[in-house]
């Protein structure tokens, strides 16, 4: 009778292929190896994905891979999900994984900033997912980081210095303080800091390495992350899914965020104190902020086009200032950048201003949690329906305002009273400061970047987008999420349900 270890390797490979990829498949494969020590499976299946969940596994894996460096090159997915760690050994393991595509690490109190500096000393051009999850405490909150100066700002700085690659997904999460339900005792403790300064966050958002990121999750509890993300020029040009849950932001921060991120489609703000809340049942006067939220999201393109118009005007005014003793020199590429306008030494050839068609909103889902509208309350369904109706009314009002603005620009263009451009959202950037002066003369190539001159009246036509899906139930699959909500989209990106 043929033993199980004598069956063809192809048969086992076919069986493994039917298992769901991820940690469950590797666990099933490990169980098979325990039951059949001489299991005829290829090393590729054994080492392609590695998931560590215990502190002692890292040293054992390092010893194995150090002796079998060829197998280390087979690893495509590496996950270390344990809050206790022999940190130097984890760093050593990661250093051997030259071809890893997905890297997910839990960073507990055993890690020092120097460990991560060493780990990310050299750029990793082939990463498709980088996930760093920090917890600066284990069973109780401490002020160790403050006393020792052990902050991980340098990790963000290292990543911001990496060259442009092709990273599509980046997750940096600080665990919030444990609640009483979690068995934590947080009385008299403030939220500990993982990052002392948030300036490196702004540098990261504007860095070449993050310019390809389409899915970004950046959670630092109670900190103004959004303000830093949009604090510089040309930030997050490719981001479509953004999760800033547990952070703090104002309405102005949100307005700036959605106007800057031209490709944004899904936004998650669970646990952010953005919307007003109070004790008691939902009243009519509580609907106003939700209607205003709908308007804000709908008119994001108007703010974007207005900012770009101001940038051009500031540049044009600077271009008209002539240095003493002669005319201001203008580069030869000016006429091309301005879409065919002839440029000479006469400032009359330059339009004093241009009009830009407000781009239609791209956002399709928005998720936020508010204590007074909790899925744990009996009236949640009725309250959620009222909130979504108010949100939809605001969205329609915002679209109406944008349509009116586009109509006014179209009429001016048709009467030959305006020079009009439209935006390419993929190329939209902020590059010229609003206080541009003579030092910015010649920067038209920057200020006109991402703009195309309107030549046909049909370019004003557009199909109003549907109201974004508003999800109020919070994270986790156990809740009844509406179809198309930001959480459902995130489940296909991350290996967790945070």
CA distance 239 to 264: 6
- Give 272-289 as a DSSP string: -TTS---SS---GGGHHH
pLDDT at 489: 93
Element (H, E) at 446: helix 444-447
Q: Which residues contact 161 (CB under 8 A, 6 or more apart)?
A: 207, 209
| Residue 330 three-state SS | coil
DSSP state of 373: B
Binned at pLDDT 50, 70 and 90, residue 437 comes out as very low
Determine the Cα–Cα distance for residues 403 and 258; give it in Å rounded to an integer.
18
Model pTM score: 0.85
Say if strands 241-243 and 215-219 run parallel, antiparallel, or are unpaired: parallel
pLDDT at 409: 95
What SS3 class is residue 25? helix
* SS3 call for 11: helix
**Cα–Cα distance measured from residue 105 to residue 495, given in angstroms and rounded to the nearest whole number:** 12
What is the pLDDT at residue 33? 62
Identify which has the larger pLDDT, 162 or 345: 162
CA distances from 112 to 59, 91, 107, 145, 459 (A): 18, 11, 9, 10, 55
Are the C-beta atoms of 217 and 171 separated by less than 8 Å? yes
- Please give the Cα distance from 386 to 314 (Å, whole number): 44
* pLDDT above 90 for 5: no
How would residue 463 be classed by pLDDT, with cut points 50, 70 and 90?
very high
Query: Rounded CA gap, 429 and 357, in Å?
Result: 16
Rg (CA), the chain: 27
Write out pLDDT tens, residues 117-136.
999 999 999 999 999 999 98
- Residue-level pLDDT at 317: 79
Q: What pLDDT is recorded for position 220?
A: 96
Q: What is the DSSP string of 241-277?
A: EEE-TT----HHHHHHHHHH-TT--EEEETT-TTS--
More confident residue, 3 or 188: 3
Predicted confidence band of residue 343 (pLDDT cuts 50, 70, 90) = very low
Under a CB-based contact definition with an 8 Å cutoff, are residues 193 and 148 in contact? no
């Amino acid at each position: 009778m043929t033993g199980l270890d004598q069956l063809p390797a192809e048969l086992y490979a076919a069986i493994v292929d039917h298992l769901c990829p991820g940690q469950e498949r590797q666990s099933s494969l490990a169980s098979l190896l325990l039951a059949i020590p001489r299991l005829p499976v290829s090393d590729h299946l054994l080492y392609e994905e590695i998931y560590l969940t215990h502190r002692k596994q890292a040293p054992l894996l390092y010893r194995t891979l150090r002796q079998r460096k060829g197998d280390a090159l087979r690893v495509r997915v590496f996950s270390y999900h344990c809050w206790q760690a022999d940190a130097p050994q984890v760093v050593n393991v990661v250093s051997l994984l030259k071809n890893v595509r997905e890297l997910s690490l839990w960073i507990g109190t055993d890690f020092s900033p120097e460990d991560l500096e060493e780990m990310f000393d050299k750029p990793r051009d082939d990463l498709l997912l980088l996930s760093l999850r920090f917890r600066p405490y284990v069973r109780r909150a401490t002020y160790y980081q403050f006393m020792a100066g052990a902050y991980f700002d340098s990790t963000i700085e290292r990543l911001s210095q990496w060259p442009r690659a092709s990273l599509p997904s980046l997750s940096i999460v600080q665990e919030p303080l444990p609640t009483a339900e979690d068995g934590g005792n947080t009385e008299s403790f403030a939220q500990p800091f993982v990052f002392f300064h948030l300036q490196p966050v702004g540098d990261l958002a504007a860095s070449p390495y993050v310019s390809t990121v389409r899915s970004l999750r950046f959670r630092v509890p109670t900190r103004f992350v959004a303000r830093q993300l949009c604090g510089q020029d040309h930030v997050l040009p490719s981001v479509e899914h953004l999760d800033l849950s547990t952070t703090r932001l104002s309405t102005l921060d949100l307005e700036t965020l959605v106007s800057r991120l031209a490709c944004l489609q899904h936004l998650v703000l669970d646990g952010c104190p953005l919307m007003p809340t109070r004790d008691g049942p939902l009243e009519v006067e509580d609907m106003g902020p939700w209607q205003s939220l709908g308007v804000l999201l709908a008119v994001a393109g108007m703010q974007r086009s207005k900012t770009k118009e101001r940038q051009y005007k500031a540049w044009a005014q600077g271009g008209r200032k002539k240095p003493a003793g002669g005319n201001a020199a203008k580069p030869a590429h000016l006429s091309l950048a301005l879409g065919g306008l002839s440029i000479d030494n006469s400032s009359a050839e330059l339009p004093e201003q241009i009009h830009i068609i407000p781009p239609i909103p791209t956002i399709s889902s928005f998720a936020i949690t508010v204590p007074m509208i909790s899925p744990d309350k009996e009236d949640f369904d009725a309250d959620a329906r009222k909130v979504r109706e108010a949100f939809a009314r605001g969205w329609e009002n915002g679209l109406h305002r944008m349509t009116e603005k586009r109509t006014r620009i179209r009429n001016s263009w048709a009467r030959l009273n305006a020079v009009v451009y439209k935006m390419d959202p993929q190329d939209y950037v902020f590059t010229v400061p609003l206080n541009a002066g003579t030092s910015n003369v010649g920067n038209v190539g920057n200020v006109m970047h991402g703009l195309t001159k309107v030549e046909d009246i049909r370019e004003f036509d557009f199909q109003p987008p549907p109201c974004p899906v508003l999800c109020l139930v919070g994270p986790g699959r156990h809740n009844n999420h509406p179809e198309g909500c930001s959480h459902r989209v995130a489940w296909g990106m991350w290996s967790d349900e945070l």
